[in-house]
Each structure stands twice: as structure tokens, then as C-alpha cells.
Structure 1
Amino acid sequence: IVASRSLLELSFQKAAICSTAMHQGAALVAISYMSCFFDASLTDVLESPECPSDESRGAVLVQILARCGEGLMFNVFYALLGVSALSRVHKSATMLQKLAALCSLCERTMWKGILCWDSLCGWLQTTDAASDYLHSRTGDNCRNHPGYMQGKGGRTLKRVIRDFAESHRNVPTPYIDSRWSCRQQLS
């Protein structure tokens, strides 16, 4: 893993891009790949709460996630805007729950310098999800969505993602040149 750091980062970036694919199978496989990446990262952080050297497997995986986080968040939310978005809700929610767990775990350990809640908050803000959520929870919007965020943990996150996908289902998405998107992700 340490020797193939750059290839792993590239594959993670490409999986994030592929999660937006119109082909449902390709998108779900890409999201599954990223979810497995989170599982491996969580395992390493749990096994060694003291942040190991930069040349350890866990450090490499967490550093990749830290560098790719903004693109990941953008692509996951973009994937929830496309066709067959509702089929991606469960896997997206599971993946984001693992990311939140990883940020929470890192926050309480020596890993905080690499990945923490501030990272997750920053990535979410870049996708403008924070302002959408606040808008839905204030004023008249709150009365229009009774019981919107009741529940715990993963169910709550899944509901938010499903609501996001359903409310944006028929909204035309702007055309993004895939070559531009790839260059942006890889630069």
C-alpha cells in the first residue's frame, strides 16, 4: 500500500468520479470500492490510535482520504442528482457514515492532525449541503417537513440523503465536461 500510494490515490479519485456515472452498475461498484477503502482505513486507525509514521499503511490511507475528501463529497452529492439516484442512497449513506465515523475516531486520537471533523465540515460546505440543510430547518420550511430528522445515526443520514436525492430528482443538472471534471479531480 505504501509503495502504491499514488496509484491508490488516483484509483480513489477515479472511483469518486465513476460514482456519478449514469450506468447504475458502474456507479454502485465505484461507491462499493470507496466504502471498502473506508473500512480498511477505519481498521488501521482502530488498531493503532497513536498516529504511526507517514510510511505506514494506515497513514497512507488516511492521507489519501484527507486529500481526496472535497472531490469525494462533491461527486457523492452529484451522483445523487442523476438518474437512478435513489438506488445509490443506501450505499452513499453507508459510505458517508463510515467517513463520519473515521473523522470522529481521528478527532479523539493522534490522527487528528491528518483528518478530523473540521475536514468533513469543510468538504460539506464546499458542496453547499450545509446551507441547503439549514434552509430546510428554518422558518416555514421546518413546518413543511415535520419529523424531518427524527431517528438515530445511519437512519438519519440515510433519510437526509434520500430526501436530497428525491428533492433534486427532476432538477436539470448543469452539463459538466467530463474531461474538465477529471482534470479538476486530478490536479
Structure 2
Amino acid sequence: MAVTDTQPVLAAPAPPDLSAQDVVELGPPMGGLVFSPPPDGPRGIGAAAKRGIDVVGSVILLVLAAPLFAVIAMSIKLDSPGPVFFRQQRMGRDGRRFRIYKFRSMVADAELLRSALLAFNEVKPPLFKIRSDPRVTRVGRLLRRCSLDELPQLINILTGEMSLVGPRPPFDHEFDDDYVHQCLRLH
């Protein structure tokens, strides 16, 4: 059986609830069926409604949180040198990469210091977490405790890179190329 890398397929025994247009029956010696699974998430009007809620919700929350954004930005600037926002490459739906925005909660060169702290990692790689991470600033500790460092992600929601409801976008390094390839084939 030859299948292109861009065509999503799944080989399985014959499930009874598939429509005929999604199924191609394989003859011997393979048997079973090959079908293209439906995309995850809402489609049509449901997708438009979800996107509408994301846009309206993020705009309202950005307007309401504007004074809080200002206070947090000033606090970050007074606490430690460096930018107010932290940007990081993440993987979105269907393997699309985007830059996620957060309030900076660590020292400005935290990514460079990570390799020196690998021995203290408390979770299984490729994830990285230290309970009392020395790179976290005083203001950063408070922001993280209250999840306020996540507020700038409303910008990602407004631009359509994220949704108000959905999984946490993973880091690029949390997936190896083979895993990403498999996910893309099945979406």
C-alpha cells in the first residue's frame, strides 16, 4: 500500500459507524479498511462560534485587564532588568509553530542558564522543572502563583494561535520529529 506523507490515513478493522465516502476497503492480503479520520474540534458553525467567543472574550479581557497589565509591567521593570514580555516558540494545532507571550517571570537570560541547572531537574526530560528555580524573580514568583504571567496569552488567542479553551501548547522540544510526523499524518 503506498500512501503519501501528506495524506492522513489510519488502518483499522471495519468500524460500523463510518460513512462510505471516508472508507476504502483493502483486499487481501491486508484486509480491513483505510479511512481518513475527521479533523479534531468543531467544524462549520461550531468552529465559527468558538472563534467568535475567543475574539470577543479576549478583547473584553484585554480591555478589563489593561490597568493590571500596566501594574505588572511596572513591577517587572522595577524588580529586574530586561523586557516585560517573554516570547517562546511553541507548537500549535497541526504542528504549526508560533510565539507564545507571557509576562517575564525569570531573569532576562534564564534560557541560557537552563543548561547549568539540568542536574536539578525534577521531572522526566524533555520537560524541565525545579521547585525553587533560582532564575525566578520576586515578582515572577507572585505572577506564577496567581497565574498572572499567562495574561499576555490573550494576544495569542486574539490572533487565533490559541483558544480560551484547549490544551497547553507544548514546547518544540517536547516532541521528537517522529512524533510530530505521526500527529500530522493523523490530523
- TM-score, normalized by length of structure 1? 0.27
Compare the two structures and name the one with the higher strand fraction.
2
Compare the two structures and name the one with the higher helix fraction.
1
